[in-house]
């Protein structure tokens, strides 16, 4: 039996990556929300633009945008690594039937010449269809007729 190529504790590592990713993205979202609320809701003094004390109000939490960036990047990286297997299985499930059908099409001799088919080096040709067969073949691989 072939051993599993992954780590012994791969399931727990995947779970840790997913949890850390969600926590980091939640922190990034919270920091971004606070910074956006502070930026768009500060009192800019639009009621009295000539007042000196009204113009002194400005957003003070803009730095939280910059603090959120590393959390966003780390969270995205952890989530990508944590869900990589699931994404790969999905991609393989979507693409392998197409690849299998393409190879089947090519190996039946309908595609680009004989691409995908290896001709036997030696062996008898079938009298009925002209297909070259293996040396020890008793019946034709192409049409099933008995070989002499």
What confidence tens digit (pLDDT) does each residue in 30-65 have? 999 999 998 888 665 555 555 555 555 677 888 999
CB atoms closer than 10 angstroms to residue 133: 18
Model confidence at 8, in pLDDT bands (50, 70, 90)?
confident
Please name which of 69, 75, 73, 84 lies closest in space to residue 31, comparing C-alpha atoms. 69
pLDDT band with cut points at 50, 70 and 90 for residue 105? confident
Q: What is the pTM of this model?
A: 0.56
Count how many Cα atoms sit within 13 Å of the Cα of residue 45 in the half-sphere of its side chain.
12
Question: SS3 for 139?
Answer: strand
Q: At 28, which helix (H) or strand (E)? A: helix 10-41
Whether residue 142 contacts residue 126, with contact meaning beta carbons closer than 8 Å, is answered with yes
Please classify residue 114 by burial: count the beta carbons closer than 10 Å to its beta carbon, then call 0-12 exposed, 13-18 middle and 19+ buried: exposed
């Amino acid at each position: 039996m072939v051993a599993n190529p992954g780590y012994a504790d791969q399931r727990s590592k995947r779970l840790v990556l997913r949890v850390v990713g969600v926590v980091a993205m939640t922190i990034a979202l919270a920091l971004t929300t606070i910074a956006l609320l502070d930026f768009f809701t500060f009192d800019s003094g639009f009621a009295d633009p000539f007042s000196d004390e009204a113009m002194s109000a400005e957003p003070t939490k803009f730095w939280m945008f910059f603090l959120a960036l590393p959390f966003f990047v780390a969270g995205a990286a952890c989530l990508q690594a944590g869900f990589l297997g699931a994404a790969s299985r999905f991609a393989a499930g979507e693409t392998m039937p197409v690849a299998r059908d393409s190879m089947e099409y090519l190996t039946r001799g309908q595609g680009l010449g004989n691409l995908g088919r290896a001709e036997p080096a030696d062996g008898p040709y079938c009298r009925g269809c002209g297909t070259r067969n293996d040396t020890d073949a008793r019946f034709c691989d192409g049409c099933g007729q008995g070989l002499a």
